[in-house]
Structure 1
Amino acid sequence: MKTDKNIAQYLVNKLEKEGVEYVFGYPGEQVLPIYEALRNSKIKHVLVRHEQAAAHAADCYARITGRYGVCIATAGPGAMNLVMGVATAYKDNVPLIVITGDVEKSQRDSDCFQQMDINGVFEPITLRSYYSCTPEKLENNIEEVFNYKKSGINGPFHINIPKDIQNKPMNIHHRTITKKKIGDVIESSILDTIKDIDDSIKPLIIVGSGVIYGGCIDELKRFVEKTNIPLATTFTSRGIISEYDDINLGLTGTRGTKRANYAAGHADLILAFGCRLSDRTLRHVTTKNIIQINTNIEHNHAGKFYNYNIKEFLEKINKKELPQKDDKWLHRINSQGEYPPNKIKETENLHPEEVINTILSKEDKNITYIFDAGQSPTYFTTNSKAEKPGQLLFSGGFGPMGYALPASIGASFATDDVIIACPGDGSIQMTIEELATIHTYKLPVIIVVLDNNLLGIIKQWQDMQKLPNYQVRLDNPDFIGLARAYGIDAEKITSIEQLSIKLDEAIENRKAKLLHVEVEDVPIPMPRN
């Protein structure tokens, strides 16, 4: 059926119909028709200052909402700049739609200006990379992307459209795109799981972000209520049940809580929902009796692996009569207590752990924390509790430097919370141009820069390996002057008391603010488990 829309208009209209509210991107010649379609749509475009930031912002938006984050860039260098952020999302199965323009179809295999094998680059870091070079292919591809999500399959999808195709008339065929099937939840697997729960004495649930992206938090809570099985989380699913609730043991694995790691090491059955069971998560697990329910077959690390839609599985098992475990196992776990707090030595500059503890003392349901690669994740991980999912955010499995600042942009459009971003002096300089985006959109982001004039983690690794400190010293700019040049209020912090006061003021004002804190060069504590 012919329409009065061109391909670019059809694409944007489809995004709009599927509930996309924001697109993070940077315009260029090969995406101008798409930008013209965006201009005439209800979708709000957020203009970042670097394409990497567009991908990180879309990633963080998706981590909080569970919905697709969408980013867009032009061909060649624009598309290549997205790679870091897309790889970050791929590693953590974050639902992302990545749209790129490309050179004209006839020039695809030439050596023309800005030509690059974009699909070849994106194939290893996306679930699918489509070359949508005809109206029929685009219709098919975009329908498939949304069907994957509806089937519970999450991760980044890439749609690459040649610029000459974008203005072509759109012929809609209204094909019936078969919903992507993972596997039917068969009765025998439900009954086997119930029997395993009944036979176990020390069961443990480990939950990953697949439960958040699969839209089944309520179903998980119901399952926990019915079975009374203790729950531990990966980092990306922290707060899925409040960490102030005794049933949630907190993070398990590297940097995990004492209770969660005790449970992981002594459990006789593990039920893993929506997590890939990485080496860091499995650090203390001894039992081979693991039942894993996941939409991604590549994440099969269990004796029993069910490639099911997690929501469907939980809905079906919750309808059954489930064995409720008594409190003996949970009491035994909770009797282990927690690791004692680290001893903070007096230092010339402020101690980084004391700074982070002060930031966390502002714990509130209406604050979202985002931290960057480096030393700060260790202190945030071990000293914090999450009240809700998406309250403590980190780039997880890939861990790139420069994540926090652009991620705070995506977070600001995903939640009404005040955002506190905590990059180090090394990390912030990887994406510092995004201060301009924060200023332009008047986002309530508080940036606390922890400055030790070092690449601290790298220095610590060199020290541990008895190597000389090489290429780890940073000659930093005037962060306060730089922030002010971008139009953001900034102050130097010289005491913990001042930090606390300035944080309170910034939270109350809900305006962008940069706080520059010089911290001592101290090594992070090694894992205590």
Structure 2
Amino acid sequence: MKTDKNTAEYLIKLLEEHGVDYVFGYPGEQILPIYEALRKSKIKHVLTRHEQAAIHAADSYARISGKCGVCLATAGPGAMNLVMGVSACYKDNVPVLILTGDVSTDIKGKNTFQDLPLNDVFKPICFKSYNAHSPEKLENSINEAFMHFEEGITGPFHINIPKNIQSKPMNMHHKVIHTNIIKDIKESDIQDTIKCIEESEKPLIIAGYGLIYSDAINEFLEFVEKTDIPITTTWNARGIIPENDEKNLGLTGNRGTRKANYAAEHADLIIALGTRLSERTTSHINTDNIIQVNTNKEHDYGKTFYHYNVKNFLKLLNEKNFTKENFKWKNRINSKEDVKKPELEETDKLHPELVIQNILKHCDTNTTIVIDAGTIPTYFTTESTLEKSGQILFSGGLGPMGYSIPAAIGATYARHDDVIIAATGDGAVQMTIEELAVLNTYKLPIIVIIINNNLLGIIKQWQDMAGIPKFQVDLDNPDFVKLANAYNIEADNITSLEELNEKLDKAIKEKKPHLFNVEVADVHIPLPL
């Protein structure tokens, strides 16, 4: 039985049914039928100026909302421009759906215009990459991707759709495949976990962002309350419990707090919930007694690994009684205070650490900061205390330059009422600076702050530490204020903290796009303790 809808129209209908509100993308010849279906849809399309920006926007939208982010691109160069952002989502397990157009099936593989083996390209950086070579295959691919998301299996899912398939009538008389990926939780695994907790004298929870994606915050808070186990977080999960709450020791790992890293070093049991346990998170862990709960088998750390949805796992644990108390252990941890930071060196221009301290003074729980790669993540990590999850966003697993402005675009659609700040460097901003056009087109109240030292600062620092002369790190930058003005965006050069505080406060109140070019000194970022 065929419907009156073609496959592209049916695709958009499925996205609507799965609760998709926004799609970020860039049109092209091989995806025009989908764009025509989207034109008639209630789904809002956000036109970025580059496909890399589309996937970064979908990425941040998903990180904040917990919903699936969706992006669109055409075949060949359009699809290839997504690769950077898709790989960033893959490293951080962000739930995104990537739809690419492709050449028609009758000319596929014949080295025709824009024909590339897209599934071969996306397969290593996606949880799955589907080739929708028929209308039926497309429907099953969409259903399977969203079924993974619903079970808590997150990461990028790619569906490649040939142009001629998009225009074909949709055949409703076919078998729709439904498969459960995550098995039911064994009672023995719950009992073994309880036994480990009861026998432990120094347990520690490491909370990851998978708790957000699985909508498990309430279950997590109940588990922490019942067990009284101290918690630390991964970078992405910062603020999952406010960092000024005594239960939260803060970030663990390379840039971790002294309390968090002391706890990691001395714990005799680690309970890792929704985290892949990267080398930066595990840098201070000494015990092999690790229980990890994760829906992605690729993140099996090699200890006790439970391939379960963390929300369901915590629900069952919360049904049990716990008798363990951790007063002595918590007192030992709390006796460790952070080392006092050395005084800042005097500089001719503004010190970047002082600049970021002043930016943070203007931020509250209704502010979301999206940061770029380079020296900026260090300062925003060490200077901030977060009160909600996703309050500072960073693509930490890959760290692509140019993330902040397009990701700030996605953040505005996930948090309509927040002040959104894109904090970037003079090197990183030029990777995706064309997205200032999107801020102007949609009148997005994003404040772009460029920390400008006319240098690729972190690379120069690595060169200095290696004892080699600096090479290819000096930047001959454009006039960023004039550039912003060309996009009809107000902008200011900032050379003093008084000027920064006054104008930033005004920009926040105006709720309009604004760019600040803050001239700072070239100083080394502090190394991890």
Moved more, 341-350 or 97-106: 341-350
Identity level (%): 61
5 Å-filtered alignment, 1:448-487, equals: 448-487=449-488
- Residue 53, structure 1, aligned to residue 38, structure 2: no
TM-score by length of 2: 0.98
Aligned to 1:167: 167
5 Å-filtered alignment, 1:103-252, equals: 103-173=103-173, 175-252=175-252
Aligned to 1:426: 427
Shift of the alpha carbon at 1:209? 1.1
Matched residues, number:
528
Aligned AA (1:79): A
Cα RMSD between the aligned structures?
A: 1.0
Aligned to 1:520: 521
Measured in 2, the distance between the counterparts of 1:448 and 1:199 equals: 50
- Aligned to 2:283, what secondary structure does the other structure show? helix
Measured in 1, the distance between the counterparts of 2:519 and 2:255 equals: 25
Shift of the alpha carbon at 1:212? 0.8
Measured in 2, the distance between the counterparts of 1:67 and 1:471 equals: 41
Measured in 2, the distance between the counterparts of 1:339 and 1:63 equals: 32
Moved more, 88-97 or 328-337: 328-337
Cα contact 1:194–1:323 (8 A) shared by 2? no
Cα contact 2:211–2:217 (8 A) shared by 1? yes
Cα contact 1:24–1:45 (8 A) shared by 2? yes
Measured in 2, the distance between the counterparts of 1:6 and 1:23 equals: 20
Aligned to 1:347: 347
Cα contact 1:26–1:48 (8 A) shared by 2? yes
Aligned to 1:260: 260
Shift of the alpha carbon at 1:331? 2.1
Per-residue CA distance 1:65-107 (angstroms, 9 max, x = gap): 1110000000000000000000000000000000000001111
Aligned to 1:508: 509
Aligned AA (2:11): L
- Aligned to 1:236, what secondary structure does the other structure show? coil
Aligned to 2:22: 22
- Aligned to 1:58, what secondary structure does the other structure show? helix
Aligned to 1:6: 6
- Aligned to 1:219, what secondary structure does the other structure show? helix
Cα contact 2:201–2:326 (8 A) shared by 1? no
Aligned to 1:447: 448
Moved more, 171-180 or 234-243: 171-180
Structure 2 unaligned residues grouped into runs of 5+: none
5 Å-filtered alignment, 1:378-389, equals: 378-389=378-389
Per-residue CA distance 1:16-40 (angstroms, 9 max, x = gap): 1110000000000111110011111
Cα contact 1:291–1:302 (8 A) shared by 2? no
Measured in 2, the distance between the counterparts of 1:160 and 1:446 equals: 35
Measured in 1, the distance between the counterparts of 2:326 and 2:126 equals: 43
Measured in 2, the distance between the counterparts of 1:301 and 1:12 equals: 38
Measured in 2, the distance between the counterparts of 1:498 and 1:92 equals: 37
Per-residue CA distance 1:382-438 (angstroms, 9 max, x = gap): 111111111011011000000001000000100021111110000000000000001
Structure 1 unaligned residues grouped into runs of 5+: none
Aligned AA (1:95): P
Aligned to 2:366: 366
Distance 1:196 1:522, change over 3 A: same
Shift of the alpha carbon at 1:303? 2.0
Shift of the alpha carbon at 1:342? 4.1
Cα contact 1:292–1:302 (8 A) shared by 2? no
Shift of the alpha carbon at 1:321? 1.0
5 Å-filtered alignment, 1:286-325, equals: 286-325=286-325
Shift of the alpha carbon at 1:182? 1.9
Aligned AA (1:280): R
- Aligned to 1:346, what secondary structure does the other structure show? coil
